Structure 1
Amino acid sequence: MKGKYLVSFRLSSLISFTLISSFIAPYSAVPAPPRTPDKTVNCDILVVGGGLSGAATAYEGLLAGRTVCLTEITDWLGGQISSQGTSALDERPTQRAKLYYSRGYLELRKRIERKYGKLNPGDCWVSDSCYLPRDGHEILRSMLRDAEKEGRGKLQWLPNTVVKELNISPDRKIINSAIAIQHQPAPNAPPLNTFTLSQSIEDAYRYQNSSRFTKSIIRLVPKQKQKGNTPNWYVVDTTETGEIIALADVPYRLGIDARSYLEPSASSANNDPYCTQGFTYTFAMEATQQPQPQQMPPFYPNYAPYYSYELSRLASFPLVFTYRRIWSPRKGETMKFGGITFTAPTPGDISMQNWTWGNDYRPGTAKDNLIYTRQQLQATGQLKPGGWMGGLRTDALRKGEENAVGFYYWLVAGTTDSQLGDGVKKPQPNNRFLSGLDSPMGTAHGLSKYPYMREGRRIIGRPSWGAPEGFAIWEIDISRRNYDDEYYREALPAREYRRLKAALAGLEALSVLSGQKRPENVARRTRSTIFPDAVGIGHYAIDFHPCMTKSPPEAPGNTERAGERRGAGQAYPFQIALRAMIPQKIDNLLVGGKSIATSHIAAAAYRVHSFEWSSGAAAGTTAAFALKNNIAPYQLVDNLPRQEPQLQNLQRLLEKNGNPTAFPDTSIFNQNWEDWK
């Protein structure tokens, strides 16, 4: 295992070229006219995005006997655990102790343990399971093959593929078909994963062949003929940034929501679509016996003013190295720093880096935001026919790549610290950067194939009972905060503060709203919101990696956006409402993963591994159920709060299949959830 990854870091060669040459030969953003599709592929369920949510959607669709088409921009399944390199499962202790997860997620954990003989081959301390990204992809591929066989479904796996266009009915209610582009290396061109994403993404969305890629144009269509008015196939957006909801132009939010009684900790009185959570290009580094030559990247001085250990209790290189250590063939001595116990790095250990004041890249203004807003998409022509190019700012990707490479150099050779001052950071030359197609990230340049995304576009659900302007899951639906702090009385108008306390008062809500009880005299409920249309579960802290105040993010003396961390903290175990997965306008589009209808603050908890799987399991099950019962998903919830018999049938099916919709002992009859930590 060790020898396979001993790939020297030579910044002067390939990675330097790929990162810098984007200045020299940028691709044009003007798409060529489409040509006749090379082939047509039939689907019952089209899943766009092969991350954990997409894999889970496919898994349940296949077990239900459906033909599932699964597209993915990279060649690896798994998103967070593979192509994004964050192969360290984020889990809460209570849920992990009870092993209360969706059946597919439990199977994933089981197969990781079977692969290595233990669940944590990296002996990391952030998680109970840290392992190599390539294995995450291979395990998921084997799971889908087994599901295909068991359920007698059919998987159309389409790696290196992006959706370019949607054919939507004149009444805007049905996606009739989709056009996708699949790329392979052009003759005599370098293999896939040679170039960074910033250099290949625009090419991937063009119809014409290029010096790098040969393209196949694929038409994706329903397998079944239309019967009546209900959909004959479903499209599920499980992309990392909400590509399909942007391309379909359904209502969505992006970035910060305006402060209100629903989102009282919002850092802004107004919406700010440019401030999303930071994205991260992960990389792997190996501890070595001898010092290694370390070459400063030419762009390092631009980013050096940003890097930091962040907090004094984290200012230890061994602590940071082992935080997400993904491979450890020999156990080191026990160490302790900042109250954290871990085993020391030993030669041959491999660490994956994902650090807030390190390889996180955190733009937050209209000049540098990564995920384009609707207005920016219009301005760049991406909402015109044939104009879609992925909806991301390529230059932000490039700078995120440079920032990540610079962070490696800071770790091994840096002597400055932007937050803790001089004298804290010491050089650590006994390490090497792992690059090469056989390296942990599977890329010639050594960075993850796709950045780890914490936040994307989030749909606004349909108007419904209790949500006349469109359904969403908000901060107060999940947070443990009591909101008695003087800040909230001052930040919210008196009427809004009363509504906040009433919303959290349970049976005393009417007394608060009517003025019979003062808000400060009412006890806060100790649970999250219970949704009658729950189809999945999740549990994680509200965890922020805030955008930076000024542009560019790496500017000397820059700070995190003021107030962004106010909403951070512990959350009660929460549910995934079906209404959060159903967008407005289009009846055969479902949403999983990070683009369900949550607020900016709630999204900071609804983003980790087990949640993504649970939302995907719900999407796959719902799509198969809707096809079998000739009913559209919105019809399952359109009469709430009255009983919905078909919704109850769906929920029973989910539970029967081992996909929980609620945590144990968290019903309306149990008002105290304090044991769930």
Structure 2
Amino acid sequence: MTKELHADILIVGGGLGGVAAALGALRAGRSVIMTEEFDWIGGQLTSQAVPPDEHSWVEQFGITRSYRQLRTGIRQYYRDHYPLTEASRAWGDLNPGAGFVSRLCAEPRVGLAVLESMLAPYIGGGKLTILKPYLPISADVVGDEVKSVTLRHRDSGRTITCSAPYFVDATELGDLLPMTGTEYATGFESQSDTGEPSAPAEAQPDNVQAISVCFAMDHVDGNHVIDKPDNYDYWRSYEPHFWGGPLLGFTAPHPRTLESTTRTFTPNPDDNPLLVDADQRRNPGDGNLWTFRRIAARRNFVPGAYNSDICLVNWPMIDYLDGNIIDASEEDKAKHLKAAADLSYSVFYWLQTEAPRTDGGQGFPGLRLRGDVTGTEHGLAMAPYIRESRRILPVTRILEQDVSMLVHGNNLSKSYRDSVGIGMYRIDLHPSTGGDNYVDVESAPFEIPLGSLLPRRVKNLLAGGKNMGTTHITNGCYRLHPVEWNVGEVAGMLAAHCLNNGLTPHQVQADDAKLQDFQAQLYNAGIEIRWPDVRGY
């Protein structure tokens, strides 16, 4: 028998957008059911194990108040529970991993602990129910309104049907869109459709960014070489036509120039973590792959606490190009996810056995998979890192020419009357399943229009993450951690605002007075909707 539950708002997907949506709705006094298909909430920050990709002004402005509370909470968790050195404990902008990709490289479990602490009071108060690990399998839709979503437990197969006045799709792949009949796009749109300079002449719906299965590792004395993966020889000889060499190697295209670039790999350099300048305007930081996404720098901790740094592998060589999992059959999706994991195991085995060392030797047998850090027995991240989702066909579609510095011609992007947040990141598209190389376009600080969260037709379903109304190209700058959080938080607040005031999302977006009332509510909640003048920063 299928169990039935009801709440004011159902949020399907417990990644950063889903958690933020829950917080936004709960603060407004509404009851929430949030579901998640993996054992950990937090998505790309936790189960996918990816340190936050953030803009250079993140410590000063340009994120929501609650996202800043998350970042502050992670740093405080280290101060409260970890054996930091006195110098690291006193470091105001503590970067536990001293990685160059982010000012806040940390172990996934810490992000999980802080996210759970942010939600805990609402669970205790009976306002929030979290269902995990549950996946959506179907939806009941009448006309232009979603009535309920049925979910299945990942392991037991038992089902639950959840009904609500409002639904937020915060899944990694926009899973509710096909189930609810909501119109959506995938892959590249055509240039004739969007007018984007970087778009192809013809639409390519199956051409999406690579997924990656990340993993954490350290390096200690001894021989920790894993068994040779069954398909190692396939990946060892794999060479994309644009790569400039084998995929399993330290040579790869530079994301911005596309020139063949060789990086280094030096485990446990004796560097001072307090001197790491994680500002990619000054130094992209990927020269030494060990320190690029390092999530624990042993010298941040008292001697003996960590025998090694911990390095998070999200490198070009683990980008899986052999297939697209969006709208694939369950059989094909499972096949591609397994192959992506096999690629990651092959990369790790290559590092242990064949990777060139600076002393002229080969391989680093002291490397160990740290599945204990990522919460898995198999040693890899709990979930694949998803860069691209199904995307709603929205009221307001965000185009390359709205954010591109080359097209827009100044240091601020298009200003939207219905802005509900801000963000900043280069348009950073990874190699794709259609055989494309990196696409990198310099973008300006941008706004998030409310219309990009609203499907054109369906009335009570809101985008809560990467399924918002970008294009394939603008997804490249709207897909990162703080923007996903901002989008989710606004979706949760909008659903609650509509319930509290007898409105619909489309009414709020279309009417200037109603929109301004909602924007004032966002401002009071600490959501910045306009950029300060960042020219000269």
Q: What's the TM-score bracket when you normalise by the shorter of the two chains?
A: 0.7 to 0.9
After superposition, residues 223-242 of structure 1 pair within 5 angstroms as 233-242=165-174
Q: After superposition, what is the alpha-carbon deviation per residue over 1:374-418, rounded to whole angstroms, capped at 9, x for unaligned?
A: xx6xxx5xxxxxxxx6x972211111010111111122222489x
SS of 2:148's equivalent in the other structure is strand
Query: In the alignment, which of 62, 67, 76 is matched to residue 100 of structure 1?
Result: 62
After superposition, residues 210-609 of structure 1 pair within 5 angstroms as 213-222=155-164, 233-260=165-192, 262-305=194-237, 306-309=247-250, 310=252, 311-318=260-267, 319-330=288-299, 347-356=307-316, 358-363=317-322, 368-372=323-327, 393-415=333-355, 426-435=362-371, 439-462=372-395, 471-482=396-407, 504=408, 524-549=409-434, 560-561=435-436, 565=439, 568-609=440-481
After superposition, residues 17-32 of structure 1 pair within 5 angstroms as none
What is the Cα deviation at residue 637 of structure 1? Answer: 2.5
Q: Please say which of residues 528-537 and 321-330 is displaced more in the overlay.
A: 321-330
CA contact (8 A) 2:405 2:444 kept: yes
Q: After superposition, what is the alpha-carbon deviation per residue over 1:482-535, rounded to whole angstroms, capped at 9, x for unaligned?
A: 5xxxxxxxxxxxxxxxxxxxxx4xxxxxxxxxxxxxxxxxxx444211011111
Residue of structure 2 equivalent to 1:675: 536
CA contact (8 A) 2:37 2:135 kept: yes
Q: After superposition, what is the alpha-carbon deviation per residue over 1:271-319, rounded to whole angstroms, capped at 9, x for unaligned?
A: 1011111111111111103343343212111111322322545233442
Quick one: structure 1 residues 43 and 662, their matched pair in 2 at CA, closer, same or farther if it must change by over 3 Å? same
CA contact (8 A) 1:590 1:619 kept: yes
Quick one: structure 1 residues 656 and 287, their matched pair in 2 at CA, closer, same or farther if it must change by over 3 Å? same
Provide the rounded CA distance (Å) in 2 between the counterparts of 1:392 and 1:157: 29
Provide the rounded CA distance (Å) in 2 between the counterparts of 1:625 and 1:292: 55
Q: After superposition, what is the alpha-carbon deviation per residue over 1:305-362, rounded to whole angstroms, capped at 9, x for unaligned?
A: 3223225452334421221111223369xxxxxxxxxxxxx84221111011x21212
SS of 2:147's equivalent in the other structure is strand
Are 2:96 and 1:132 aligned? no
What is the Cα deviation at residue 134 of structure 1? Answer: 1.8
SS of 1:326's equivalent in the other structure is strand
Quick one: structure 1 residues 415 and 114, their matched pair in 2 at CA, closer, same or farther if it must change by over 3 Å? closer
Query: In the alignment, which of 122, 128, 142 is matched to residue 97 of structure 2?
Result: 122
Q: Name the aligned partner's letter for residue 350 of structure 1.
A: I
Provide the rounded CA distance (Å) in 1 between the counterparts of 2:405 and 2:360: 35
Are 2:31 and 1:67 aligned? yes
Q: Name the aligned partner's letter for residue 106 of structure 2.
A: Y
CA contact (8 A) 1:64 1:624 kept: yes
Q: Name the aligned partner's letter for residue 406 of structure 1.
A: S
Provide the rounded CA distance (Å) in 1 between the counterparts of 2:432 and 2:399: 20
Quick one: structure 1 residues 619 and 317, their matched pair in 2 at CA, closer, same or farther if it must change by over 3 Å? same
Quick one: structure 1 residues 392 and 460, their matched pair in 2 at CA, closer, same or farther if it must change by over 3 Å? farther
CA contact (8 A) 1:537 1:576 kept: yes
What is the Cα deviation at residue 442 of structure 1? Answer: 0.8
Q: After superposition, what is the alpha-carbon deviation per residue over 1:541-600, rounded to whole angstroms, capped at 9, x for unaligned?
A: 111212155xxxxxxxxxx415x52xx132111111111001132101000210000011
Q: After superposition, what is the alpha-carbon deviation per residue over 1:594-641, rounded to whole angstroms, capped at 9, x for unaligned?
A: 0000011110000111101110111011011000111110112235xx
TM-score where L is the length of structure 1: 0.68
Quick one: structure 1 residues 392 and 48, their matched pair in 2 at CA, closer, same or farther if it must change by over 3 Å? farther
What is the Cα deviation at residue 125 of structure 1? Answer: 1.7
Q: Name the aligned partner's letter for residue 308 of structure 1.
A: G
The RMSD of aligned alpha carbons is 2.4
CA contact (8 A) 1:592 1:619 kept: yes
Q: Name the aligned partner's letter for residue 114 of structure 1.
A: Q
CA contact (8 A) 2:215 2:381 kept: yes
The count of residues paired between Structure 1 and Structure 2 equals: 483
Residue of structure 2 equivalent to 1:26: none
SS of 1:83's equivalent in the other structure is coil
SS of 2:344's equivalent in the other structure is helix
Quick one: structure 1 residues 352 and 610, their matched pair in 2 at CA, closer, same or farther if it must change by over 3 Å? same
SS of 2:191's equivalent in the other structure is coil
CA contact (8 A) 1:535 1:660 kept: yes
Quick one: structure 1 residues 43 and 403, their matched pair in 2 at CA, closer, same or farther if it must change by over 3 Å? same
Residue of structure 2 equivalent to 1:179: 150
Quick one: structure 1 residues 293 and 453, their matched pair in 2 at CA, closer, same or farther if it must change by over 3 Å? closer
CA contact (8 A) 2:145 2:460 kept: yes
What is the Cα deviation at residue 139 of structure 1? Answer: 1.1
Answer with 1 or 2: which has the greater Rg: 1
Residue of structure 1 equivalent to 2:139: 166
Provide the rounded CA distance (Å) in 1 between the counterparts of 2:123 and 2:204: 43
CA contact (8 A) 2:225 2:366 kept: no
SS of 2:496's equivalent in the other structure is helix
CA contact (8 A) 1:168 1:176 kept: yes
Which structure 1 residue ranges, 5 or more long, are not aligned? 1-35, 183-203, 205-212, 223-232, 333-345, 381-388, 418-422, 463-470, 483-503, 505-523, 550-559, 666-672
Provide the rounded CA distance (Å) in 1 between the counterparts of 2:231 and 2:332: 22
CA contact (8 A) 1:63 1:153 kept: no
Quick one: structure 1 residues 406 and 424, their matched pair in 2 at CA, closer, same or farther if it must change by over 3 Å? farther
Quick one: structure 1 residues 426 and 158, their matched pair in 2 at CA, closer, same or farther if it must change by over 3 Å? same
CA contact (8 A) 1:362 1:546 kept: yes
Quick one: structure 1 residues 456 and 480, their matched pair in 2 at CA, closer, same or farther if it must change by over 3 Å? same
CA contact (8 A) 1:123 1:130 kept: yes
Provide the rounded CA distance (Å) in 2 between the counterparts of 1:392 and 1:140: 33
Provide the rounded CA distance (Å) in 2 between the counterparts of 1:542 and 1:147: 36
Q: After superposition, what is the alpha-carbon deviation per residue over 1:415-436, rounded to whole angstroms, capped at 9, x for unaligned?
A: 489xxxxx9994222211223x
Provide the rounded CA distance (Å) in 1 between the counterparts of 2:45 and 2:202: 35
CA contact (8 A) 2:9 2:31 kept: yes
Q: Name the aligned partner's letter for residue 628 of structure 1.
A: N
SS of 2:368's equivalent in the other structure is strand
Query: In the alignment, which of 605, 618, 635 is matched to residue 490 of structure 2?
Result: 618
SS of 2:474's equivalent in the other structure is helix
Provide the rounded CA distance (Å) in 2 between the counterparts of 1:481 and 1:425: 45
Q: After superposition, what is the alpha-carbon deviation per residue over 1:185-232, rounded to whole angstroms, capped at 9, x for unaligned?
A: xxxxxxxxxxxxxxxxxxx3xxxxxxxx3233212123xxxxxxxxxx
Q: Name the aligned partner's letter for residue 259 of structure 1.
A: Q
Identity of aligned residues (%): 32
CA contact (8 A) 1:542 1:605 kept: yes
TM-score where L is the length of structure 2: 0.85
Provide the rounded CA distance (Å) in 2 between the counterparts of 1:44 and 1:425: 61
